[in-house]
Structure 1
């Protein structure tokens, strides 16, 4: 798809008027981690995203997807392991320990699958 190129005059020269797309969403924790990963391990992909002006949008999308998936995994683990509000009321320290364990394991899944793009076995 060929787009019409606009030029601006600067002294005696015409320079392409290139603008990046407006993106106001934050890239967040997951986006920053993935950016660092692809910058170090897949520089061609990183440069391609930068040159097309799509890096920030890509990272913001990934951050939102990772956060949504994290919340979903946590809820599923809470149900499967029986971590409830009743447990919280009965033994708060047990509940905190269980929730910390669930969050840590869920974050490992996100890191492995989405941030570092490792294939699951």
Structure 2
């Protein structure tokens, strides 16, 4: 039996270990570049969608997927925050008149916008 073989059908090489051929898989050790929402998505996939996580990881598409999710969620949160702030009349005038009230309202708006987007994009 040969020590190393290559399967042209799937493009993988195999090494003989005992009586079995095991695939020569290598994990890319690249530095992750995704942000907060990418990390949340990764954690969700690990815990609740392990097969999808493994498929993305083994195909080398995990980092690209997490970066895309991070950018998409960041954009959605910003848009929702602007819309909610306009609807609740949280503007620069309020900021000048009562800064603490403005901070409380903006923090509340951010939490609400994140919650909406997380349930629609991250946790699916």
**Counterpart position of 1:79:** 86
CA deviation digits over 1:1-20, x for unaligned, max 9? x9xx6x9xxxxxxxx8x785
Work out which of the residue numbers 88, 93, 101 in structure 1 matches 2:95: 88
Unaligned runs of 5+ in 1: 8-15
- Match runs of 1:35-46 below 5 Å: 35-46=42-53
Q: SS at the partner of 1:83?
A: coil
Work out which of the residue numbers 77, 99, 118 in structure 2 matches 1:111: 118
Q: TM-score, length-normalised on structure 2? A: 0.74
Give the total of aligned pairs: 107
Q: SS at the partner of 2:60?
A: coil
What is the CA-CA distance between 1:98 and the residue it aligns to? 0.8
What is the CA-CA distance between 1:103 and the residue it aligns to? 0.7
State the 4+ residue runs in structure 1 displaced beyond 6 angstroms: none
What is the CA-CA distance between 1:40 and the residue it aligns to? 1.0
Matched residues in 2 for 1:24 and 1:114: separation?
Answer: 24
**Counterpart position of 2:38:** 31
* Structure with greater strand share of residues: 2
Q: Which structure: larger Rg?
A: 2
Contact 2:27 / 2:58 at 8 angstroms: preserved in 1? no
